[in-house]
Chains A and B, each alone.
Chain A
Amino acid sequence: MSNATRKVCLLGDFAVGKTSLVGRFVRNTFSDKYLTTVGVKVDTREVALPAGNVKLVVWDIAGRSALDTLDKSYLRGASGLLLVCDGTREATFRSALYLQMQSKSLLGDVPAVMMVNKLDLADRWEVTPLMVNECRKTNPVFETSALTGDGVEAAFAALAEALPP
C-alpha cells in the first residue's frame, strides 16, 4: 500500500542510459540496442522504505545537454532528480551537473542523486574517482550499470529516501 506518490525525473545527455536504467529499475530488463527517447516516457514503481512505501512516478526525459522550455514543462512538479551520465564520456558528467544547475531555477534545491552509468565498462571510463569524490560533496553518487543492475536499486532507493515526506 502506497503512502505517497512522488514524481522524479531523469536528466542527462543523450545515450547515457537513462531509459535502460528505468528499464532495469521498473521491469528488471535490459536491451543493448540504443533507441533514442522522444519527449518523455513515464513509468511507476513502488519502493519500500522504513518509513513506508513510496510510489515513484519516473519521468524519463529525452536526453540533452541543456534544458529547453519543453524540458522545463516536463520538470514541473518533480520532487527529485536522477542525474545520469556515462562514465566513458566525461562530457556527460559535466552535462548532468549543468542540467541540475539549470533545473534549480524551476525546482529549487530538490534532492538529487548522480548515477555514473556503464560501470560494466569501467576499463574505458573517462570520469575519474577524483571527479566522483568531488561531486559527492554536493550529491550522493552511485556508479551504476543498467546492464548488470549494479548500483541501480541503491540509487533509486537513496533518492526515494531523500524525498520530502
Chain B
Amino acid sequence: MIGSMPPLVAGYLRETLIQAADPLLLSFAPDWTLTGAAGDATRFGAQPAQLAAQLRDVFIGMPVDELQVLPYMDLGHGRRAHLHLLPDKGGFHVVLLDAEGEAAQRQKVQQLGNQAQLASQEKSKALRSLKRAHATLEAQRDSLEEAAALKDALIATLSHEFRTPLTAIFGYIHLLEKGRFDEQTRAAPLRSLRRATTHLYALAENLLEYARAPQGGSIVTPQALAPNELVDDLRGIFEPIAESAGLGLEVGVAVEEGARFVTDPVKLRQVLINLVSNGIRYTQRGRVRVQLAVTRHELVATVEDTGIGIPAEFRPKLFKAFERADARVRGGAGLGLAITRRLVDQLGGTIAVESETGRGTQFRVVLPSLARLVSAAESAAQREAARAAAIEAAPPRGNGRALVADDDPDLREILRGLLVELGYEVHLAGNANDAYEGVYAHSPSLLVIDLQMPGLPGSATVFRLRAEGYHGRIVMLSATPTEDAREAARKSGADRFLTKPIDVEAFAAACRD
C-alpha cells in the first residue's frame, strides 16, 4: 500500500510511525558480536552490551538467518518488548519495540478472565461441598425437629397416660386397705388394678424401646421361643381386661411338630401386647382373636378385632409415633404401633394391616426364624475374639521398624512408648520433610504421621511416599475429627486415620491389623 502513496506521504508516515514506535536497534555479527546500536537502550532498563548478552541467551537454539518474532518478552528489566530478529548480509539485527502499554492492557484482561475462571472452579467445588453439607444438615435438622416435636408430644401424652392408671391404682389400693371389698366383691377392683398395671407396663416397655436410637434400636437377643408359654402369658394379661370390657378374647397357637423357632421372645411379646392392647382399646363390641402359627422357618401372628376399624386416610400414618386414628378413644400414648413396626423390623419381619371401618382390623406379623443369626453371631463373636487375641499377641508388622512423625514432642514420645510396647524399633521425625527423609533412611514398615504440622502437612509426605511406591503401613493422626481430614488422609494414601486423643487399643489395632 505504501508503494502506491506519493513519496512525500510515504516518507512522512515512515518517519512518524518510527518516531512513535521509538525502536531500539541492535546489530550483530553472525557470532553475536554487537556491531552497532541505534535508539535508547536505557528505556529497556539496560545498556546495549548487557541487552546484547541477554538476547544471545534468548535466541539460543533459534536460527539467526531467518526472521524471528517474539512478542511480549519480559527480559526482567521492567519493560516488556516485542523482539524482531532480521537477518542481513554479514549478520543480523534485533529490533526491540516497546510493548509495555499493550502488555499491561492485555494483562488486565487476561487476569480478569483467569480469575473469573478460577473463581468459577472454586465456586463449583464449594457448591459441591455445600450441597453435601446441606444434605447432612437437612437430615440432622429433620431429625432434630422430629425429636423436638416428639418430645413435646411425648410429655403431653405421658402426663395423661401415666396419671390415669395411677389414679385407678392408688384409688383401689386405698379402698382395699380400708377393707371395702370382701371375697365376693374384690374381683372387679383386682381386674381394674391388673388392667391399670398392664397398661403402665406396656407404656414403660414402649418408652424404653422408643428411647433407643431408631436406626440401631435395642440389641436383638435370639432365643428359642416357647409358643405355649407366650400364649399363656397373653391370656393371663388380657383375659381379665377383655372380660371387664365385655369382649371375647380368643388366643390360639398351632406349632409344627418338632419346630424350634428362634426369635427375640421379649420383643415378640411386646409386639403382641401392643397389638392386643390396641385391639381391646378400639373394640366396643365383639371379640379380639390372636392366632400364632409357628413352623421351624416362620412365625405368623394375626391379631384380629371387631372394632371401629381404621379409616383409609389414616393408614399411611398408622405406624408413625403419636398418631391416633380416633382421638376420641382414650388410652394409649400413640407409640404402640410405631414401636411395633420398629420391633418387627429388628426381628427381620413384616407387618401388614387390613381394616374396614366399623367392622374391624386385622394385623398380620410374619417373622423369620433367627436360628442362622444365632450361629452366625456365635461364629462372628468367636472370630472377633480370635482376632483381638491375635492382634494382642502379633509380632510387629514387616521389619519391625516404625517411624513416628509429629511436631508435638510429648506426643512423639507417647507414640514411641506405645510402639515400643508393640515390639517396634522406633525412629522419630518432627516435620513432614524429616518424615520423608526418615522413611528412606530407615525403611520402616510402619509410618505414624500427624496430618497437621508446621510447613508441609503430613498428607504431603504420605502422598509423595505412595507416589514413589512406598508399600509400608501408614497410620495418619489428626486432632481435627472432620470428614475432610479423613478424606485428605485417604486420598493421600494412608491406610488408617485416627483422631486425637488416641484410643490406645484402636491405635494398636491400626498398627498391627
Contacts and interface: CB of A to CB of B under 8 A. Distances in A.
Given A36-B111, A37-B74, 5 more contacts: A39-B103, A70-B71, A122-B460, A123-B451, A123-B457
Given A39-B71, A42-B57, A77-B62, A15 B118 contact: yes
B18 interface: no
Given A5-B57, A5-B60, A40 B74 contact: yes
B69 interface: yes
Interface string B96-136: 00010001001100110011011001000000000000000
Interface in A74-106: 74, 76-79, 89
Contacts of B117: 14
B80 interface: yes
A14 to B, nearest CB: 5
9 contacts: A15-B114, A38-B80, A38-B106, A38-B110, A39-B99, A63-B114, A120-B457, A123-B485, A143-B463
Interface in A49-78: 55, 57, 62-63, 70, 73-74, 76-78
B457 A122 contact: yes
Given A36-B110, A125-B463, A125-B492, A145 B456 contact: yes
How many interface residues does chain A have, given as a range? 35 or more
B187 interface: no
A89 B124 CA distance: 12
A158 interface: no
A132 interface: yes
Contact of A119 (B57, B114, B460, B466): B460
Given A77-B62, A148-B456, A122 B76 contact: no
A143 B493 contact: no
Interface in B50-81: 54, 57-62, 68-76, 80
Given A35-B111, A77-B59, A77-B61, A129 B74 contact: no
Contact of B463 (A39, A42, A129): A129
Top-9 shortest CB links A-B? A77-B61, A39-B72, A122-B460, A129-B466, A132-B467, A41-B74, A123-B488, A129-B467, A122-B459
Given A36-B114, A76-B61, A42 B74 contact: yes
Which of A35, A43, A76 gathers most chain B CB within 10 Å?
Answer: A76
B214 interface: no
Contacts of A39: 71-74, 80, 99, 103
Contacts of A120: 455-457, 460
B190 to A, nearest CB: 71
B107 A7 contact: no
A21 B479 CA distance: 32
Interface in A1-42: 5-7, 14-15, 34-42
B6 interface: no
A151 to B, nearest CB: 8
Interface in B457-505: 457, 459-460, 463-464, 466-469, 484-485, 488, 491-493
A86 to B, nearest CB: 10
Contacts of A7: 57, 60-61
Nearest to A76: B62
Contacts of A119: 456, 460, 463-464
B261 to A, nearest CB: 52
A125 B433 contact: no
Contacts of A125: 459, 463, 491-492
B283 to A, nearest CB: 64
